[in-house]
Chain A
């Protein structure tokens, strides 16, 4: 049994409480993932079905089909709660896919630039300068607007600038690790560049990249919602938080919940991811490149 002085036990309790509160974002994110995966299986929602007799019902009202609408209904009588649940799936799906694409592309490019340096690195730096002459969201608006709306177009539009931060992090880690003794030793032993990169250098990029991926996920989810708020990118048949917020804008006076609910769902998700990303960044450092 350990004896802890009174003043110390207070400190210990405070630290424990802080560590526990650090878990809250992870739990919230887990909840969103669960809703995104399982929610649509439990709640049915058809964006084309518009029971007009149920239009603009307030939260908790009973619909004509006998059910309750916990978050009310929109101007076409569609359930807002169901839209929030289905919107979670859209956001999580686009967020995860885009971050995966950006991660793969960014790490490949960043590692090559950091390892080989020279003209490859210079060309890449210029390319990044050019892409960053545009605000990311502007480039996404133009790309998503030019092509026929689809999920893949959105992912492409968000990936065009999304890979940059990963490439930067990977490049800076590779640049510093490649000068270390064990890398020299491996090189002298005749290990080929590809294996050298994969086995002796890249493992060190994992921590910073995970932290980066978390922050990037938050940015992608925000950007996707922004695009669908502007009515660009996703086909009208899909359900997205940004779209629902935009739909509710005309009815702020009579039915504020249409815009409020999905925006709140979006904010809570992005805040949780941001808090988690901050914890990870503090732990793995380096990743704060923007």
Chain B
């Protein structure tokens, strides 16, 4: 297990180094001088000259790249020209809102997905199964930004049950979290369905059924535990997609998280913040994928043995 942890950690470090390099390259090939890009369009010439020296823009590109990696290791991405704070502080202040949103949405998705997946998987090939499968395709196909707006139209403007946007109270969390859950409920439902359908065909399920247990008892007592293993992994692996979805959904509801920060910063060419935010998100994803891998190994002894 320890060698597995170390090997995965090393792989994670390599991925993060690559991610930092990719972001460096993107900001580098962006049209315009990096000093202008980092300081924004309204910077004064003296400021620009100072930054050019600080960033060492007159030096060879490889040295600049080395400097950048060094500063990235210290989580120093420079200052946001727009927000009057360091880029990393801006990211840290917005992070909790995104965590709230994604976690709430993950819980909704897992509960709804397990429910749908069980309904389909317990009778694979039945009409019920086909309806759920079609439903998952439909859920996954809706553009989240549009679903969000339609939910605002119905529940905030029409029925006046929930606020339209912002984050003043807990009720503000409901619409964004539900919106973000649409595609992920579908993903969880599909994984749960195939896990449950597979387990239902196992001999131990046949035994339990022939002992006279009802399908529901078999499902909760025997099948669900096994089906939960792939669901756990998929939640860990899909957290990246969930964060990506959050970027869009946050902008629909003016939710004060990383997603709104990234889009504002891209729009204002505030690349210090863009770098800090994208690399933070990448680090979260790499870490959660790692945890999902290890959890999977912990839950399923066969994987541990194989590695």
In the complex, the answer to whether A135 meets B285 with C-beta atoms within 8 Å is yes
A56 at the interface (CB under 8 A from B): no
Kindly state the separation between the CA atoms of A222 and B286 in the bound complex, as whole angstroms. 25
Contacts of B201 in A (CB 8 A): none
Contacts of B144 in A (CB 8 A): 226
Kindly state the separation between the CA atoms of A245 and B266 in the bound complex, as whole angstroms. 21
A270 at the interface (CB under 8 A from B): yes
In the complex, the answer to whether A138 meets B143 with C-beta atoms within 8 Å is no
Set B11, B263, B278: member contacting A129, Cβ < 8 A: B11
B149 at the interface (CB under 8 A from A): yes
Kindly state the separation between the CA atoms of A136 and B251 in the bound complex, as whole angstroms. 17
In the complex, the answer to whether A226 meets B143 with C-beta atoms within 8 Å is yes
B256 at the interface (CB under 8 A from A): no
Contacts of B252 in A (CB 8 A): 249
In the complex, the answer to whether A231 meets B267 with C-beta atoms within 8 Å is yes
In the complex, the answer to whether A263 meets B149 with C-beta atoms within 8 Å is yes
B189 to chain A, nearest CB (A): 14
In the complex, the answer to whether B30 meets A129 with C-beta atoms within 8 Å is no
In the complex, the answer to whether B26 meets A142 with C-beta atoms within 8 Å is yes
For B26, B137, B143, B243, which residue has the most chain A Cβ atoms within 10 angstroms?
A: B143
Kindly state the separation between the CA atoms of A173 and B252 in the bound complex, as whole angstroms. 41
Kindly state the separation between the CA atoms of A230 and B134 in the bound complex, as whole angstroms. 29
B190 closest partner in A (C-beta): A288
Kindly state the separation between the CA atoms of A211 and B145 in the bound complex, as whole angstroms. 26
Chain B, interface size category, equals: 35 or more
A275 at the interface (CB under 8 A from B): yes
B248 at the interface (CB under 8 A from A): yes
In the complex, the answer to whether B30 meets A146 with C-beta atoms within 8 Å is yes
A160 to chain B, nearest CB (A): 9
A222 closest partner in B (C-beta): B143
A267 at the interface (CB under 8 A from B): yes
Known A-B contacts A129-B11, A137-B248, A230-B248; A263 and B146 likewise in contact (beta carbons under 8 Å): yes
B274 at the interface (CB under 8 A from A): yes
Known A-B contacts A135-B243, A245-B149, A252-B152; A142 and B274 likewise in contact (beta carbons under 8 Å): yes
Tell me the dominant secondary structure on chain B's binding face. Answer: helix
Set A134, A146, A267, A271: member contacting B146, Cβ < 8 A: A267
Known A-B contacts A126-B14, A252-B152; A232 and B263 likewise in contact (beta carbons under 8 Å): yes
Segment from B15-23, B47-55, B170-178, B210-218 that makes contact with A? B15-23
Contact bitstring A242-265, B, C-beta under 8 A = 1, else 0? 100110110011001001100110
A278 at the interface (CB under 8 A from B): yes
In the complex, the answer to whether A259 meets B149 with C-beta atoms within 8 Å is yes
A282 closest partner in B (C-beta): B133
In the complex, the answer to whether B244 meets A229 with C-beta atoms within 8 Å is no
Kindly state the separation between the CA atoms of A137 and B278 in the bound complex, as whole angstroms. 11
Known A-B contacts A137-B247, A141-B266, A252-B152; A270 and B141 likewise in contact (beta carbons under 8 Å): yes
For A134, A143, A148, which residue has the most chain B Cβ atoms within 10 angstroms?
A: A134
Kindly state the separation between the CA atoms of A59 and B101 in the bound complex, as whole angstroms. 36
Set B15, B134, B152, B281: member contacting A138, Cβ < 8 A: B281
Kindly state the separation between the CA atoms of A252 and B245 in the bound complex, as whole angstroms. 23
Contact bitstring B93-135, A, C-beta under 8 A = 1, else 0? 0000000000000000000000000000000000000000110
Interface of A toward B, CB cutoff 8 Å: 126-127, 129-139, 141-143, 145-148, 218, 222, 225-226, 229-232, 242, 245-246, 248-249, 252-253, 256, 259-260, 263-264, 266-267, 270-271, 273-275, 278
Interface of B toward A, CB cutoff 8 Å: 11, 14-16, 18-19, 22-23, 26-27, 29-31, 133-134, 137-138, 140-146, 149-150, 152-153, 157, 240-241, 243-245, 247-248, 251-252, 262-263, 266-267, 271, 274, 278, 281-282, 285-286
